[in-house]
Amino acid sequence: MTNAAHFANMPDGTPVAQITLRGGGLTARVLTHGARIQDLRLDGVAHPLVLGSSDFAPYLDDMLYFGAIVGRFANRIAGGAFVIDGTPHQVDRNFLGKHCLHGGSDGTASRVWEVAALKEDAVELRLDLADGEMGFPGAMQVMATIALPGDGVLAMDIRATSDAATPCSFAHHGYFNLDGSADIADHLLQVAAETYLPVDAEMIPLGAPDALAGTAFDFRAARALGHSQVDHNFCLATARRTCHPVANLTGATSGVKMRVETTEPGLQVYGAATFPAAGLSGFDGRRYGPHAGLALETQSWPDAPNRPTYPDTILRPGESYHHQVRYVFDRSETASA
């Protein structure tokens, strides 16, 4: 179709397509590499709403997760190890050489997805993961629909099945900057969570959720992000629910607002504090330094396969995983461009 074009080739020659979607006042460019939102624009706003690159090379390196769907298990699994039904499993340890991050070094962010269906305002992408891939049990089929259904909505619908019991938790790993500014310190964030998961120095949860009240990460009421060191899971619920609002982000100068709605029990909030000071190569020659964008990753809780008191993340044969997330954009008519 006319809204799909060749974008680049993988190092092994596999072609990567760029798909342009339009609908509801939004234009999104999606890459089949990582089922990735490469670019997102709102009518009447000159700058992109997400961090990204016009070139392909950064997505094979420092920007691997930017805008991608990560999995088969988003976030971290301590020691890259877990036990299911008495059987131990060791998976890829791609984080600090100790832990598994986002499904391992060849997780879904680094794979080229197949276009299963395409319309002007939606694309359905498919990825098949083999049994034993990155050490995970079960042959898994993943289907992701990315759509612009109207009224400023970017919607993602992720489904998965597996022929063996396996951890399953996907997340959209986009970085948002609603002002097109150098950093997101002046953005206002509000998250509908009372508790979060404190972590150790290696970003592994310490245990049970703690209250957000009185902490540096208390965003129950909207407030400026500042140069927050936030990179934590906010506990929205103890199980998957119907899709409903969980967070709001507001740009300080553009008037652009974004509401996050999801079915998932967790929201990883990451303020990009660890981006390199020299910056990453972004759109229009920009450099993305520390705090250049905010990731709001709807997912289950990190290390859940090892934590029986956390939401259950084991997908079993005959079951279907179904994750919905909607990013809803609006712009005040009185805001400056």
Burial class (CB in 10 A: 0-12, 13-18, 19+), 327: buried
Q: Which two tokens stand for residue 151?
A: 């009224």
Q: Which phi and psi (to 5°) does residue 244 adopt? A: -155, 165
Q: Which two tokens stand for residue 31?
A: 């890459």
> Catalytic: which of 173, 232, 291, 323?
173
Evaluate the CA torsion angle 200, 92, 279, 179 in order and state its sign: negative
Q: Which two tokens stand for residue 149?
A: 């259904």
Q: How far apart are CA 123 and CA 326, in angstroms?
A: 15
What's at 288, amino acid-wise?
Y
Active site residue 6: no
> Catalytic: which of 124, 133, 264, 297?
297
Q: If you write DSSP's letter for every residue of 96-107 in order, what string do you get? A: TTTBEETTSTTS
CA dihedral 175, 7, 122, 62 (to 10 degrees): -20
Q: 115 by DSSP, 3-state: which?
A: strand
Is the separation of the CB atoms in 264 and 300 below 8 Å?
yes
Cis amide linkage into residue 72, ω under 30° from 0: yes
Q: 58 by DSSP, 3-state: which?
A: helix
Is the separation of the CB atoms in 304 and 167 below 8 Å?
yes
Q: Which of 329, 248, 265, 331 is nearest to 24 (CA)?
A: 329
Q: How far apart are CA 151 and CA 7, in angstroms?
A: 29
Active site residue 173: yes
Q: Which of 244, 248, 250 is nearest to 263 (CA)?
A: 244
Catalytic annotation, residues: 173, 297
